[in-house]
């Protein structure tokens, strides 16, 4: 979120802050993870609705932001280990880390494992991300929103395992443990898998569809809200479908029943490998996955699609894709976005589509972030 938009949502939040509310978390105000624990949850939804209507003025009117559970919803937490602390960066100061003992938005299973492993991390050299020296950079906790299976990933800067003591104290209580190498200067919580200590993946269920989640693969951070979004997508998908930025195939596989063939396109080879495992495990034969860049795929495609699904990163689609999307001219474009600014820019660039339906979801309660779903219909 750029400074202008951050100021806008901060100004709106000021109107709803309630001095009589005791924040749920002792770290609120220091930690950069949450901003709205001093605002009633119903008011958070109103605030986000107002924010969206300002951002999307002239594009569409937002009537409501669909709610989530306010706490214990987040199925992935990336906790930085630096300066003899384990936690999250201080709000407004990247150079500082707030040492935390618990996190109120983390799912309960992950929170329990974190409380058990944290005391054993004090004997492990952490990583100074300002000087780019040290060993343990992150501990990443992931949990199946419906299955409750828990994964722990240790992100390290060197090709060695110094984590025997922490691991032996949680290994019987988790489903997956991996050591991941990031030996570059970039501040990333993923990389080469050095060692799968246990499991190598967890699974989660959206209805009767089972998904495998591996250490580096993307999966929506709020499983309950994601399932509601996928249900709405399934209602609107028609005919032959192209799913761009398809990840581990979660949308493709969930909507596959009752529609024509689906092609999922994803640049990550690991995600494609897992997507094909998910396809086989669910006995779905009308979906195929292609490892390719979305723009490159569109340039070379010779088929017509009735529906194109877009779930791009925060920056939105590559601007050069607009030309090819318009050339393909699908009847529908279903656009899932975590950035309303990007959605607005991409929608206006397309030009030949109108918004048939629009939904907003509170995917990330206590934070300023919002997920939106636009069902776009070709005009003419």
List, by residue number, the catalytic residues: 338, 371
- Beta strand pairing status for 332-337 and 371-378? antiparallel
Long-range Cβ contact pairs of 281-284 (< 8 A, separation 24 or more): 281/210, 281/212, 282/209, 282/210, 282/253, 284/253, 284/256
Task: Tell me the two tokens of residue 273.
Answer: 């490998």
End-to-end CA distance of the chain: 35
Residues 346/351/352/356 CA torsion (nearest 10 deg): 60
Phi/psi at 295 (5° precision): -65, -45
> Using an 8 Å Cβ cutoff, are 248 and 265 in contact?
no
> Using an 8 Å Cβ cutoff, are 152 and 179 in contact?
no
Q: What angle do CA 32, 35, 38 make, to 5 degrees?
A: 135
């Amino acid at each position: 979120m750029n400074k202008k938009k951050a100021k806008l949502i901060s100004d709106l939040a000021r109107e709803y802050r309630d001095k009589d509310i005791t924040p749920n978390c002792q770290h609120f105000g220091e930690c950069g993870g949450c901003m709205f624990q001093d605002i009633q949850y119903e008011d958070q939804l109103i605030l986000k609705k107002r924010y969206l209507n300002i951002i999307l003025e002239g594009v569409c009117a937002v009537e409501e932001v669909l709610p989530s559970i306010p706490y214990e919803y987040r199925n992935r937490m990336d906790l930085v280990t630096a300066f003899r602390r384990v936690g999250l960066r201080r709000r407004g100061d990247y150079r500082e880390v707030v040492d935390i003992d618990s996190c109120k938005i983390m799912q309960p299973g992950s929170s329990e494992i974190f409380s058990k492993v944290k005391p054993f991390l004090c004997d492990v050299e952490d990583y100074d991300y300002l000087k780019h020296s040290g060993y343990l950079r992150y501990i990443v906790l992931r949990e199946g929103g419906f299955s409750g299976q828990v994964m722990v990933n240790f992100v390290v800067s060197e090709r060695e395992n110094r984590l025997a003591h922490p691991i032996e104290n949680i290994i019987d209580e988790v489903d997956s443990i991996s050591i991941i190498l990031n030996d570059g200067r970039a501040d990333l919580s993923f990389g080469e898998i050095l060692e799968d200590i246990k499991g190598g993946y967890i699974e989660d269920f959206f209805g009767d569809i089972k998904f495998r989640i591996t250490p580096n693969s993307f999966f929506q951070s709020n499983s309950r809200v994601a399932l509601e979004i996928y249900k709405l997508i399934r209602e609107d998908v028609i005919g032959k479908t192209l799913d761009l930025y398809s990840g581990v195939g979660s949308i493709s596989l969930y909507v596959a029943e009752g529609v024509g063939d689906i092609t999922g396109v994803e640049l990550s080879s690991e995600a494609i490998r897992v997507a094909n495992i998910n396809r086989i495990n669910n006995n779905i034969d009308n979906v195929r996955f292609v490892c390719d860049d979305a723009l490159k795929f569109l340039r070379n495609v010779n088929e017509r699609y009735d529906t194109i699904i877009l779930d791009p990163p925060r920056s939105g689609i590559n601007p050069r894709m607009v030309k090819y999307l318009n050339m393909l001219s699908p009847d529908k474009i279903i656009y899932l976005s975590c950035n309303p600014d990007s959605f607005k820019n991409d929608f206006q660039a397309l030009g030949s589509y109108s918004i048939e339906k629009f939904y907003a979801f509170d995917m990330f309660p206590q934070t300023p972030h919002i997920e939106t779903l636009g069902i776009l219909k070709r005009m003419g």
